[in-house]
Each structure stands twice: as structure tokens, then as C-alpha cells.
Structure 1
Amino acid sequence: MLEVKNISYSYGPCKVLHDISFKVESGELMCVLGPNGCGKTTLLKNILGLLSPSVGSIWIDGQEIRKLSPKQLAQVMAYIPQEHTPPFPYTVFDVVLMGRTAYLASNLSVPGKKDEAIAEEALADLNITYLKDKIYTKISGGERQLVLIARALVQQPKLLVMDEPTSSLDFGKQNVVLEHARNLSRKGISILMVTHDPGHALFCADQVVTMKKGRLLKIGTPQEVISEESMQEMYGTEVKIGNICLPDERNIRVCVPVPTLTQGISA
């Protein structure tokens, strides 16, 4: 579905990505995991077509991204940002319906009944139909993030790219978004999620890519990649990993840092 082939990227003389390669298969949820400043955002911008690799190439659904028009790219890949506040008080339904823009004949075209039906279905799939007529800027952060997922779904993409989608949410709402992401991948949508929290990758990822200082460290399942030793190497802090059983009888691992008063905070 998505293949990143040996890409590097530089901002002027400063090289920030070094020979990165990985694949996201159809229906797979992959987390890109790493500390702040490791190059995750730059990697994401290259995948989204906002930047072009200095070296290497990026392919989606068998096509090289740089050869696709913005409209073509929007029909195969959708982006969900960390947070979003529109300049006007649109209704939730209008925000979701905007995801159909890539399928309209022109910028002056009006969404039709089919587009509205697809938007209705996306709201229903995420159990947020009750938000349809509410003002987007006046709903909670967790609800807003689900609306952004619905907007992405109406693009009918093959790949969802999520940039730290829970970063502005409270603890309870984070797992709601992660559960929806996991369920969407089970329905066949490929998902690439960028996060700095190993707990998120342990909770929902099929595959994990770890990064540090612009370089890829490891690729594999969460069980293969996320260990106390590897997380300490990547984040520079001691962690402990344990197992818990959820009410649905899933056993998952959790990762928590070991606090020390002598540790400083750096960017």
C-alpha cells in the first residue's frame, strides 16, 4: 500500500532524514515511534507530498507520489492532523462533507446526494451522528478529533496518515481515538500513525517503526521492537513494561517511564 524507499531529506546543509525505508501493507496499522526532534514530522511531510525527498522515492498503491496530482493523491490518502480549528463556525456535517472535495468536478461544484450519503455513513461508523448539526468549534477536543477522522473517511482513502492524533486529548478520549483507528485498520484501511508514546503502539499497532536522530532504528511487531532496553536507548530514560488483561480478554503490554528526580528535560 505505502512504500518508502531509501529516502533522505535535508533542510539546506542540515540532513534530517537518513536512508529511511519501510512498507505499510493493506489493512495494516503501523506506528512511527520516536522522541521529539527525531524527524517524524519531516518524514510525514515527505509522505504527504508537502516536501520532496532529497534522495529516494515514496510509492502509494503502486504509484509514485510525486507523479500524482493533489486531487489524485487525496483520493488514495487522507491526513488527520493533531488538532484543527477552522476559521468559520461550520456545522460538523459541513466539515465532514468537505472531505468529498477531491471528487467534485470543479471548485465551484456542489456536493450531491451521493456525497451527503457517504458523509452520513462516516458519522454513523464512528458513532457520532448526534454531532451532525452541532457547531464544530463548540464541541470537545475528543469529538473534534473523531469528526476529523470522519472527514478523512469520506475521501474513501486506502491510507490514513495520523499525526499524533491524541496529543491534545485527555486520557479517556485518547483510547477512544486509538480504538477507532484499530477498528478501521481491521476493515481494510491502511493506517500510518506518528506518535511519541510507546503505549499507543503497544495498544493498537500491527507494526512499529522506531526512529532516533533522523535514522530508522528498528521495524517489527510491537513485541519485537518495544522492549525496556530499546525504549531506554531511544528516549534516554528507564522504562518498565508489563502486561494487563482488558475486559474483552485482550492481553496488552503497557510501558511506563521510571521517574528520577535527577533527570533533566531537553528538547
Structure 2
Amino acid sequence: MMLRLENVTVRRQDRLLLDGISLSLPAGAFTVIVGPNGAGKSTLLRVAAGLIRPERGTVRIDGQSPDTMPSMRLARSRAMLTQDHAIEARFTVQDVAAMGVVAPSSGRARLRRMVEVCLTETGLRGYEGRDVTTLSGGERQRAHLARVLVQLRWQGPRTLLLLDEPVSAQDIAHQMRVLSLAKAHAARGGACLAVLHDLNLAAACADRIVVLDRGRLHIEGTPAQILTQDMLSDVFSLEFSRPGIHRETMRPYILPHDLVSSPIVQAPKGTLPCISQ
């Protein structure tokens, strides 16, 4: 088992952020965490990365606790793309992508090749010399994704990739690119745990989905098991979201709004009309 959390509880001051979470993530799996704002998704990811020590419970990465692993060993086992990746210093995109690896002189040519591959895969070929502070939010996010991928690939395929809202700043084409890279990492024998807010993206790409609600594990399973009207009503208070099944992939999807059952509101004269089904 690549990642295993047992009865993890995290409290910050008087607030219970995670309450008895148990979760297993095998090699080869792409698992997505979803849930309402404040459900504990990012906290769970940081616990899995060894960045937060739980008040109770245990965390194991390939059988070892992050607390007992030397920092370099931990860095060789997992890498995390956080939501906040601001850089004030004027590094080039190529420099940022190489930051996750301390390469000996004999390995610098290999590192350059790996950086080139990962920048190409993330859609940043030709940006190598650009100042990272001049990039758009989505481009900067992908530069840091390239850094994370270089860090893991330097060590080999059996590593843990942790992604916190990796497509939050991406257009739809780059959303597909980023999630395809995450799935490919798992397919090569690693594992990926990602936080997503878009339930349709989660259903389209995940092997398994974990639903958090108020710091607790509400349910976990395949997309077809998870994306139901009962879950949408219980966790997100969506009463009329109409889950459906995609005919080609047989994966579920939703119309994420209650407008389908709401009365039509007349638009003021001179504005765009409302669209109803």
C-alpha cells in the first residue's frame, strides 16, 4: 500500500479539521478528494504529505511514517503541488522546474533532459528562459507542476504525487493535460491523490473518489458509486442536479444547478434572456 491513513484526527485550536479519517491508496491508483469548502480536503493532503502531524492516528507512505523519515528520503518518496506557489525571486521557468532535485555534477545532463520533457508535457516548451513572475496564473501553476514531476521522476515511478486544486487556474484544454499527467503517473506504478472542486472532472478521471464533509469521511468508491443524487443532496445540498451517465465512457456527470426546477425569472428589458430547459 503506497499511502495509508488510519484514524487520523487533526485539531487546530478549538476547531476539528479532520475527525477519524482512514484511507488507503495503492500503487497504480488515481484518487480524487471532493467535498464542500472547509471540509478538510487540503488538510488531509498536507497530512498525507507529512506537512501536518495528526493529533491522533497514523500516516504511512510505503509502510513508513513521514515523521521518522529524513527530509531527503521523504522528498524522494512524495511530492506535492500546493495551491499557493508564489515566487517573488526572478527565477526562470527552467530553474523552477529543476528546483526539486539536487543533482550531482554527473547527473546534470540527465536533469536538463528531464526538465525539458516535463516542460513539454506541461505545455511550457519555449518558456524555459521566461521569468516565472511574468507568467499568467495558469502558466505559473504548470511550471510548478513540472517541478513536482521532475522531482518524482528523478527517483523512479513508484512515488506519491499529491495535487491540491491542480487545475484551478487552467482552461479546459490544460485541465485535460494536467489530469492526464496525473493519471499517467499512477499508470506507471506510482499513485496520485488530488483535491478537485469540479465533480464532473473528478468523475471523468478518477479511479476512486473520496468525499469529505465537515472533516469526516462521508463515502468513498468509484465515480458511479459516489456521484448519486443522495450524495449531492446530503453533502452539497443540491436537490435537483440530475446525475446522468455519459454514453461513451459510462461515467456519471451532473448538471450542477437547481435551475432545472426553479421558476423562470424574467430578465430586465435590454439584458440577455434567461435560458430554460
Residue 237 of structure 1 and its aligned partner are, at CA, apart by 1.8
C-alpha distance after superposition, 1:174-215 (max 9, x if no partner): 333223222332222211001222112101100111111111
Does residue 151 in structure 1 map to residue 153 in structure 2?
Answer: no
Compute the TM-score of the two structures, normalised by the length of structure 1: 0.86
Compute the TM-score of the two structures, normalised by the length of structure 2: 0.83
Q: 1:253 is matched with which residue? A: 252
More strand by share: 1
C-alpha distance after superposition, 1:101-146 (max 9, x if no partner): 4x66xxxx99733322332232244453322222222233333222
User: What secondary structure, in the 3-state scheme, does the structure 2 residue paired with 1:155 have?
Assistant: helix
Instruction: Determine if contact 2:79/2:148 at 8 Å carries over to the other structure.
Output: yes
Please tell me whether Structure 1 or Structure 2 has the larger radius of gyration of its CA atoms: 2
Q: 2:209 is matched with which residue? A: 208
Q: 1:242 is matched with which residue? A: 244
Query: Residues 185-224 of structure 1: matches in 2 within 5 Å?
Result: 185-224=186-225
Equivalenced residue count is 254
Structure 1 residues 226 and 215: alpha-carbon distance in aligned structure 2, compared to 1, 3 A threshold: same
Q: 2:4 is matched with which residue? A: 3
Does residue 26 in structure 1 map to residue 27 in structure 2?
Answer: yes
Residue 52 of structure 1 and its aligned partner are, at CA, apart by 0.7
User: What secondary structure, in the 3-state scheme, does the structure 1 residue paired with 2:100 have?
Assistant: helix
Q: CA RMSD in A?
A: 2.4
Instruction: Determine if contact 1:178/1:204 at 8 Å carries over to the other structure.
Output: yes
Amino acid at match of 1:138: T
Does residue 121 in structure 1 map to residue 123 in structure 2?
Answer: no
Q: Which range moves more in the overlay, 24-33 or 172-181?
A: 172-181
Q: Which range moves more in the overlay, 125-134 or 235-244?
A: 125-134
Instruction: Determine if contact 1:100/1:111 at 8 Å carries over to the other structure.
Output: no
Identity of aligned residues (%): 32
Q: Which range moves more in the overlay, 46-55 or 9-18?
A: 9-18
Extract unaligned runs of 5+ from structure 1. 263-267
C-alpha distance after superposition, 1:70-114 (max 9, x if no partner): 22111110011225231122111100010114x66xxxx997333
Distance 1:131 1:255 in 2: 37
Instruction: Determine if contact 2:10/2:16 at 8 Å carries over to the other structure.
Output: yes
Q: 1:130 is matched with which residue? A: 126
Instruction: Determine if contact 1:145/1:177 at 8 Å carries over to the other structure.
Output: no
Amino acid at match of 2:149: L
Instruction: Determine if contact 1:83/1:145 at 8 Å carries over to the other structure.
Output: no
Q: 1:161 is matched with which residue? A: 162
Amino acid at match of 1:226: L
Distance 2:233 2:172 in 1: 23
User: What secondary structure, in the 3-state scheme, does the structure 1 residue paired with 2:33 have?
Assistant: strand
Q: 2:85 is matched with which residue? A: 84
Instruction: Determine if contact 1:31/1:193 at 8 Å carries over to the other structure.
Output: yes
Which structure is richer in relative contact order (CA contacts within 8 A, separation 6 or more)?
Answer: 1
Distance 1:153 1:244 in 2: 31
Q: Which range moves more in the overlay, 180-189 or 77-86?
A: 180-189
Extract unaligned runs of 5+ from structure 2. 264-277
Structure 1 residues 82 and 13: alpha-carbon distance in aligned structure 2, compared to 1, 3 A threshold: closer
Instruction: Determine if contact 1:83/1:168 at 8 Å carries over to the other structure.
Output: no
Distance 2:121 2:190 in 1: 14
Amino acid at match of 1:161: L
Distance 2:203 2:34 in 1: 11
Q: Which range moves more in the overlay, 139-148 or 109-118?
A: 109-118
